[in-house]
Protein backbone atom coordinates (compact mmCIF):
# COMPACT_ATOMS: atom_id res chain seq x y z
CA UNK A 1 0.00 0.00 0.00
CA UNK A 2 1.20 3.50 -0.82
CA UNK A 3 1.21 5.79 2.20
CA UNK A 4 0.06 9.28 1.37
CA UNK A 5 -1.18 12.20 3.49
CA UNK A 6 -3.70 13.59 1.02
CA UNK A 7 -4.37 16.73 3.09
CA UNK A 8 -0.70 17.65 2.97
CA UNK A 9 -0.59 16.84 -0.75
CA UNK A 10 -3.45 19.21 -1.46
CA UNK A 11 -1.68 21.98 0.45
CA UNK A 12 1.49 21.37 -1.48
CA UNK A 13 -0.28 21.52 -4.83
CA UNK A 14 -0.01 25.27 -4.58
CA UNK A 15 3.75 24.91 -4.89
CA UNK A 16 3.38 22.74 -7.95
CA UNK A 17 1.06 25.18 -9.68
CA UNK A 18 3.68 27.88 -9.18
CA UNK A 19 6.38 25.70 -10.70
CA UNK A 20 8.45 27.31 -13.42
CA UNK A 21 6.92 26.80 -16.84
CA UNK A 22 10.19 26.59 -18.78
CA UNK A 23 10.19 24.31 -21.83
CA UNK A 24 11.36 20.78 -21.02
CA UNK A 25 14.29 20.78 -23.45
CA UNK A 26 17.34 18.92 -22.22
CA UNK A 27 20.84 20.17 -22.83
CA UNK A 28 24.43 18.99 -22.49
CA UNK A 29 26.74 21.31 -20.59
CA UNK A 30 29.85 22.60 -22.32
CA UNK A 31 32.25 20.59 -20.14
CA UNK A 32 32.88 17.11 -21.56
CA UNK A 33 32.56 15.73 -18.02
CA UNK A 34 29.23 17.43 -17.35
CA UNK A 35 26.12 15.26 -17.48
CA UNK A 36 23.07 15.78 -19.66
CA UNK A 37 20.30 17.46 -17.69
CA UNK A 38 16.71 16.41 -18.44
CA UNK A 39 13.87 18.87 -18.77
CA UNK A 40 12.00 19.83 -15.62
CA UNK A 41 8.46 18.71 -14.93
CA UNK A 42 5.51 21.02 -15.49
CA UNK A 43 1.86 20.80 -14.54
CA UNK A 44 0.10 18.95 -17.35
CA UNK A 45 3.13 16.84 -18.30
CA UNK A 46 2.80 13.10 -18.87
CA UNK A 47 4.92 10.67 -16.84
CA UNK A 48 5.45 7.07 -17.82
CA UNK A 49 5.18 4.34 -15.18
CA UNK A 50 7.33 1.23 -15.47
CA UNK A 51 8.06 -1.92 -13.44
CA UNK A 52 11.72 -2.67 -14.23
CA UNK A 53 12.28 -4.98 -11.25
CA UNK A 54 9.90 -6.77 -8.88
CA UNK A 55 6.18 -7.36 -9.37
CA UNK A 56 3.56 -4.77 -8.46
CA UNK A 57 -0.16 -4.95 -7.81
CA UNK A 58 -2.82 -3.09 -9.75
CA UNK A 59 -3.81 -1.31 -6.53
CA UNK A 60 -0.33 0.21 -6.27
CA UNK A 61 -0.55 1.47 -9.85
CA UNK A 62 -3.96 3.03 -9.19
CA UNK A 63 -2.90 4.73 -5.94
CA UNK A 64 0.33 6.07 -7.41
CA UNK A 65 -1.54 7.36 -10.45
CA UNK A 66 -3.91 9.23 -8.13
CA UNK A 67 -1.00 10.87 -6.30
CA UNK A 68 0.57 11.96 -9.59
CA UNK A 69 -2.77 13.31 -10.75
CA UNK A 70 -2.95 15.48 -7.60
CA UNK A 71 0.45 16.83 -8.55
CA UNK A 72 -0.98 17.94 -11.89
CA UNK A 73 0.55 15.15 -13.97
CA UNK A 74 -0.87 12.81 -16.57
CA UNK A 75 0.03 9.12 -16.43
CA UNK A 76 0.95 6.64 -19.15
CA UNK A 77 1.40 3.00 -18.19
CA UNK A 78 4.11 0.73 -19.53
CA UNK A 79 2.78 -2.07 -21.70
CA UNK A 80 4.13 -4.76 -19.33
CA UNK A 81 3.65 -2.98 -16.02
CA UNK A 82 1.56 -5.75 -14.44
CA UNK A 83 3.35 -8.72 -16.02
CA UNK A 84 4.68 -11.51 -13.81
CA UNK A 85 7.54 -13.92 -14.23
CA UNK A 86 8.27 -15.49 -10.86
CA UNK A 87 9.44 -12.65 -8.61
CA UNK A 88 10.02 -10.40 -11.61
CA UNK A 89 7.58 -7.98 -13.26
CA UNK A 90 7.71 -9.90 -16.51
CA UNK A 91 10.41 -11.21 -18.83
CA UNK A 92 13.68 -9.28 -19.13
CA UNK A 93 13.04 -8.35 -22.77
CA UNK A 94 9.61 -6.93 -21.91
CA UNK A 95 10.77 -4.93 -18.90
CA UNK A 96 13.63 -3.49 -20.95
CA UNK A 97 11.23 -2.76 -23.81
CA UNK A 98 9.11 -0.63 -21.47
CA UNK A 99 12.16 1.43 -20.47
CA UNK A 100 13.20 1.98 -24.08
CA UNK A 101 9.64 2.74 -25.17
CA UNK A 102 9.16 5.42 -22.51
CA UNK A 103 12.34 7.22 -23.54
CA UNK A 104 11.37 6.99 -27.21
CA UNK A 105 7.82 8.28 -26.59
CA UNK A 106 7.78 12.02 -27.25
CA UNK A 107 4.54 12.43 -25.29
CA UNK A 108 6.28 11.30 -22.06
CA UNK A 109 8.33 13.86 -20.12
CA UNK A 110 9.54 11.67 -17.22
CA UNK A 111 9.86 7.99 -16.32
CA UNK A 112 8.91 6.88 -12.80
CA UNK A 113 9.38 3.42 -11.34
CA UNK A 114 6.92 1.51 -9.21
CA UNK A 115 8.96 -0.86 -7.05
CA UNK A 116 12.36 -2.33 -6.29
CA UNK A 117 13.02 -5.91 -5.31
CA UNK A 118 15.31 -7.44 -7.92
CA UNK A 119 15.64 -7.41 -11.69
CA UNK A 120 17.17 -4.17 -12.98
CA UNK A 121 20.67 -5.64 -13.33
CA UNK A 122 19.25 -8.26 -15.69
CA UNK A 123 17.98 -5.68 -18.18
CA UNK A 124 21.03 -3.39 -18.34
CA UNK A 125 22.45 -5.09 -21.48
CA UNK A 126 19.05 -4.78 -23.18
CA UNK A 127 18.68 -1.01 -22.95
CA UNK A 128 19.27 1.31 -25.90
CA UNK A 129 21.63 3.85 -24.35
CA UNK A 130 22.01 5.85 -27.55
CA UNK A 131 18.23 6.22 -27.75
CA UNK A 132 18.13 7.24 -24.10
CA UNK A 133 20.90 9.83 -24.48
CA UNK A 134 19.09 11.32 -27.48
CA UNK A 135 15.85 11.61 -25.49
CA UNK A 136 16.91 12.75 -21.99
CA UNK A 137 14.14 12.52 -19.40
CA UNK A 138 13.83 12.41 -15.65
CA UNK A 139 13.99 8.84 -14.36
CA UNK A 140 13.55 8.23 -10.63
CA UNK A 141 13.50 5.38 -8.13
CA UNK A 142 15.73 3.74 -5.53
CA UNK A 143 16.61 0.36 -4.00
CA UNK A 144 16.98 -2.13 -6.88
CA UNK A 145 16.41 0.72 -9.34
CA UNK A 146 19.89 1.90 -8.30
CA UNK A 147 21.41 -0.22 -11.07
CA UNK A 148 19.11 1.34 -13.66
CA UNK A 149 19.97 4.86 -12.47
CA UNK A 150 23.72 4.21 -12.45
CA UNK A 151 23.68 2.32 -15.74
CA UNK A 152 21.84 5.10 -17.56
CA UNK A 153 24.05 7.79 -16.00
CA UNK A 154 27.25 5.89 -16.84
CA UNK A 155 26.32 4.87 -20.39
CA UNK A 156 24.10 7.79 -21.50
CA UNK A 157 25.41 10.66 -19.39
CA UNK A 158 21.96 11.68 -18.13
CA UNK A 159 21.34 12.97 -14.60
CA UNK A 160 19.12 10.42 -12.85
CA UNK A 161 17.27 10.66 -9.55
CA UNK A 162 17.49 8.49 -6.45
CA UNK A 163 14.10 9.23 -4.91
CA UNK A 164 10.61 7.94 -4.11
CA UNK A 165 8.79 5.46 -6.33
CA UNK A 166 5.31 3.99 -6.47
CA UNK A 167 5.58 1.93 -3.30
CA UNK A 168 7.15 4.76 -1.30
CA UNK A 169 5.63 6.94 1.39
CA UNK A 170 4.52 10.10 -0.38
CA UNK A 171 4.33 12.51 2.54
CA UNK A 172 4.88 16.27 2.70
CA UNK A 173 8.68 15.90 2.95
CA UNK A 174 9.13 13.67 -0.10
CA UNK A 175 6.60 15.62 -2.17
CA UNK A 176 8.25 18.95 -1.38
CA UNK A 177 11.64 17.51 -2.39
CA UNK A 178 10.24 16.31 -5.72
CA UNK A 179 8.55 19.64 -6.39
CA UNK A 180 11.53 21.81 -5.59
CA UNK A 181 14.10 19.72 -7.49
CA UNK A 182 12.13 18.25 -10.41
CA UNK A 183 9.52 20.96 -10.99
CA UNK A 184 11.14 24.20 -9.80
CA UNK A 185 14.70 23.24 -10.70
CA UNK A 186 16.10 24.49 -7.40
CA UNK A 187 19.69 23.86 -6.39
CA UNK A 188 18.70 22.75 -2.90
CA UNK A 189 20.67 22.25 0.27
CA UNK A 190 19.62 18.79 1.44
CA UNK A 191 19.38 18.70 5.23
CA UNK A 192 17.81 16.08 7.52
CA UNK A 193 14.78 16.79 9.64
CA UNK A 194 15.79 17.32 13.28
CA UNK A 195 14.28 13.93 14.11
CA UNK A 196 16.91 12.17 11.97
CA UNK A 197 20.35 12.69 13.56
CA UNK A 198 23.64 12.49 11.68
CA UNK A 199 27.06 11.33 12.90
CA UNK A 200 30.30 12.72 11.52
CA UNK A 201 32.85 10.10 10.51
CA UNK A 202 35.51 12.54 9.29
CA UNK A 203 35.11 16.33 9.47
CA UNK A 204 35.40 18.64 6.51
CA UNK A 205 33.88 19.77 3.22
CA UNK A 206 34.29 18.32 -0.26
CA UNK A 207 33.03 18.95 -3.78
CA UNK A 208 32.35 16.53 -6.59
CA UNK A 209 29.69 14.88 -8.72
CA UNK A 210 27.20 13.03 -6.54
CA UNK A 211 26.96 9.31 -7.37
CA UNK A 212 25.63 6.25 -5.54
CA UNK A 213 22.57 4.35 -4.39
CA UNK A 214 21.81 1.05 -2.72
CA UNK A 215 25.04 -0.54 -1.49
CA UNK A 216 23.99 -4.11 -2.30
CA UNK A 217 23.14 -3.25 -5.90
CA UNK A 218 26.19 -1.08 -6.37
CA UNK A 219 28.55 -3.84 -5.27
CA UNK A 220 26.67 -6.31 -7.48
CA UNK A 221 27.66 -4.12 -10.45
CA UNK A 222 31.38 -3.93 -9.66
CA UNK A 223 33.38 -5.22 -12.61
CA UNK A 224 30.67 -4.35 -15.13
CA UNK A 225 30.63 -1.55 -17.69
CA UNK A 226 27.57 0.07 -16.11
CA UNK A 227 29.30 2.01 -13.34
CA UNK A 228 30.60 5.58 -13.76
CA UNK A 229 34.08 7.01 -13.35
CA UNK A 230 34.57 7.38 -9.59
CA UNK A 231 37.41 9.88 -9.65
CA UNK A 232 36.69 12.81 -7.30
CA UNK A 233 33.03 11.90 -6.88
CA UNK A 234 30.92 12.12 -3.74
CA UNK A 235 29.74 8.57 -3.04
CA UNK A 236 26.47 7.99 -1.20
CA UNK A 237 25.11 4.58 -0.20
CA UNK A 238 22.21 3.15 1.80
CA UNK A 239 20.77 -0.28 2.51
CA UNK A 240 18.01 -2.27 4.18
CA UNK A 241 17.78 -5.61 5.99
CA UNK A 242 21.49 -6.36 5.79
CA UNK A 243 23.48 -7.66 8.78
CA UNK A 244 26.43 -5.49 9.73
CA UNK A 245 28.91 -8.13 8.61
CA UNK A 246 27.41 -7.91 5.12
CA UNK A 247 27.85 -4.13 5.10
CA UNK A 248 31.46 -4.80 6.12
CA UNK A 249 31.83 -7.28 3.26
CA UNK A 250 30.41 -4.90 0.68
CA UNK A 251 32.52 -1.93 1.75
CA UNK A 252 35.54 -4.24 1.65
CA UNK A 253 34.62 -5.11 -1.94
CA UNK A 254 34.49 -1.42 -2.87
CA UNK A 255 37.85 -0.97 -1.21
CA UNK A 256 39.45 -3.94 -2.97
CA UNK A 257 38.01 -2.76 -6.30
CA UNK A 258 39.80 0.57 -5.85
CA UNK A 259 36.58 2.60 -5.71
CA UNK A 260 36.83 4.05 -2.21
CA UNK A 261 40.31 5.42 -2.78
CA UNK A 262 39.05 7.49 -5.72
CA UNK A 263 36.13 9.34 -4.10
CA UNK A 264 36.39 12.84 -2.60
CA UNK A 265 33.65 12.41 -0.03
CA UNK A 266 31.41 9.73 1.45
CA UNK A 267 27.86 9.65 2.75
CA UNK A 268 26.17 6.66 4.34
CA UNK A 269 22.44 7.24 4.40
CA UNK A 270 20.14 5.02 6.41
CA UNK A 271 20.74 1.35 7.07
CA UNK A 272 17.18 0.31 7.88
CA UNK A 273 16.73 -2.89 9.89
CA UNK A 274 20.44 -3.71 9.75
CA UNK A 275 21.12 -5.82 12.86
CA UNK A 276 24.56 -6.39 14.35
CA UNK A 277 23.76 -10.11 14.60
CA UNK A 278 22.03 -12.48 16.98
CA UNK A 279 22.04 -11.53 20.65
CA UNK A 280 24.65 -14.15 21.57
CA UNK A 281 26.88 -13.53 18.56
CA UNK A 282 29.91 -11.22 18.67
CA UNK A 283 29.70 -8.40 16.14
CA UNK A 284 31.13 -5.09 15.17
CA UNK A 285 28.76 -2.15 15.19
CA UNK A 286 27.93 -0.34 11.99
CA UNK A 287 29.82 2.69 13.31
CA UNK A 288 32.93 0.54 13.84
CA UNK A 289 32.69 -0.84 10.30
CA UNK A 290 32.36 2.66 8.86
CA UNK A 291 35.27 3.85 10.96
CA UNK A 292 37.44 0.94 9.80
CA UNK A 293 36.77 1.49 6.10
CA UNK A 294 36.13 5.22 5.76
CA UNK A 295 38.26 7.02 8.36
CA UNK A 296 41.58 5.87 6.82
CA UNK A 297 40.56 7.53 3.54
CA UNK A 298 40.88 10.95 5.19
CA UNK A 299 37.93 12.36 3.25
CA UNK A 300 34.87 14.23 4.61
CA UNK A 301 32.27 11.62 5.55
CA UNK A 302 29.18 11.15 7.68
CA UNK A 303 26.43 8.69 8.53
CA UNK A 304 22.66 9.14 8.77
CA UNK A 305 21.62 11.20 5.72
CA UNK A 306 17.91 10.96 4.85
CA UNK A 307 18.59 8.61 1.97
CA UNK A 308 17.18 5.11 1.77
CA UNK A 309 14.29 2.96 2.91
CA UNK A 310 12.68 5.59 5.14
CA UNK A 311 9.50 7.70 4.84
CA UNK A 312 11.21 11.13 4.81
CA UNK A 313 13.73 10.77 2.01
CA UNK A 314 15.70 13.17 -0.14
CA UNK A 315 15.40 13.31 -3.90
CA UNK A 316 19.08 12.86 -4.75
CA UNK A 317 20.27 13.86 -8.25
CA UNK A 318 22.95 11.50 -9.55
CA UNK A 319 25.57 13.31 -11.61
CA UNK A 320 25.25 16.93 -10.44
CA UNK A 321 28.06 18.77 -8.69
CA UNK A 322 27.56 19.24 -4.96
CA UNK A 323 29.40 20.39 -1.88
CA UNK A 324 29.05 18.29 1.25
CA UNK A 325 29.64 19.37 4.84
CA UNK A 326 30.38 16.34 7.00
CA UNK A 327 30.09 18.34 10.23
CA UNK A 328 26.60 19.62 9.49
CA UNK A 329 25.52 16.60 7.48
CA UNK A 330 24.38 18.60 4.45
CA UNK A 331 24.51 18.23 0.68
CA UNK A 332 24.49 21.55 -1.19
CA UNK A 333 23.66 21.28 -4.85
CA UNK A 334 25.91 23.64 -6.82
CA UNK A 335 23.67 23.52 -9.87
CA UNK A 336 20.14 22.66 -10.88
CA UNK A 337 19.55 19.02 -11.84
CA UNK A 338 17.07 19.90 -14.60
CA UNK A 339 16.71 22.57 -17.27
Active site residue 309: yes
pLDDT single digits (tens) 53-74: 999 999 999 999 999 999 999 9
pLDDT at residue number 11: 53
CA distances from 225 to 124, 125, 200, 220, 242 (A): 10, 10, 33, 12, 26
- Whether residue 263 contacts residue 228, with contact meaning beta carbons closer than 8 Å, is answered with no
pLDDT at residue number 34: 84
Cα–Cα distance, 211 to 209 (Å, whole number): 6
Tens place of pLDDT for every residue, the chain, 339 residues? 455 554 555 455 554 444 434 433 444 333 336 899 999 999 999 999 999 999 999 999 999 999 999 999 999 999 999 999 999 999 999 999 999 999 999 999 999 999 999 999 999 999 999 999 999 999 999 999 999 999 999 999 999 999 999 999 999 999 999 999 999 999 999 999 999 999 999 999 999 999 999 999 999 999 999 999 999 999 999 999 999 999 999 999 999 999 999 999 999 999 999 998 777 789 999 999 999 999 999 999 999 999 999 999 999 999 999 999 999 999 999 999 999
- The residue from 65, 309, 321, 323 that is catalytic is 309
**In sequence order, which residues have a C-beta less than 8 Å from that of residue 327 and are 6 or more positions away?**
200, 203, 204, 302
pLDDT at residue number 277: 75
- Whether residue 189 contacts residue 330, with contact meaning beta carbons closer than 8 Å, is answered with yes
pLDDT at residue number 279: 74
Cα–Cα distance, 159 to 317 (Å, whole number): 7
The per-residue DSSP string of 98-146 comes to HHHHHHH-TT--EEEE---SS-HHHHGGGS-HHHHHHS--EEEE-GGGH
pLDDT at residue number 2: 52
- The residue from 143, 147, 156, 168 that is catalytic is 143
Query: What phi-psi label fits residue 248: left (phi over 0), alpha (psi between -120 and 50 degrees) or beta?
Result: alpha
Active site residue 238: yes
pLDDT at residue number 29: 36
Cα–Cα distance, 286 to 268 (Å, whole number): 11
pLDDT at residue number 100: 98
Q: For each of the domains in the chain, give its residue range(s) and CATH number, in order of start.
A: 3-183 (3.40.50.10740), 189-333 (3.50.30.60)
Active site residue 225: no
pLDDT at residue number 274: 95
The model's pTM is: 0.92
pLDDT at residue number 1: 47
Please state, as a whole number, how many other Cβ atoms lie within 10 Å of the Cβ of residue 316: 31
Q: What residues does 139 pair with on adjacent strands?
A: 111
CA geometry: angle at 54 spanning 314 and 267, to 5°?
Answer: 30
- The residue from 65, 147, 168, 238 that is catalytic is 238
Amino acid sequence: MIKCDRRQLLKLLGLTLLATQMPAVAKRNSSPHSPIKPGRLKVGDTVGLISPAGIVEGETVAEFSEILSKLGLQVKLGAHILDRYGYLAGQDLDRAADVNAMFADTSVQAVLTLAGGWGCNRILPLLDYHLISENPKIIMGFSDVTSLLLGIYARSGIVTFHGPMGTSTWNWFSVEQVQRILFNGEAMRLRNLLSIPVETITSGKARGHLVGGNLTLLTAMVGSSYLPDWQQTILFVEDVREDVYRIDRMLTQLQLAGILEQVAGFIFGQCTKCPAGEEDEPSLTLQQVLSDHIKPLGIPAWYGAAIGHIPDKFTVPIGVEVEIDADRGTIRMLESAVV
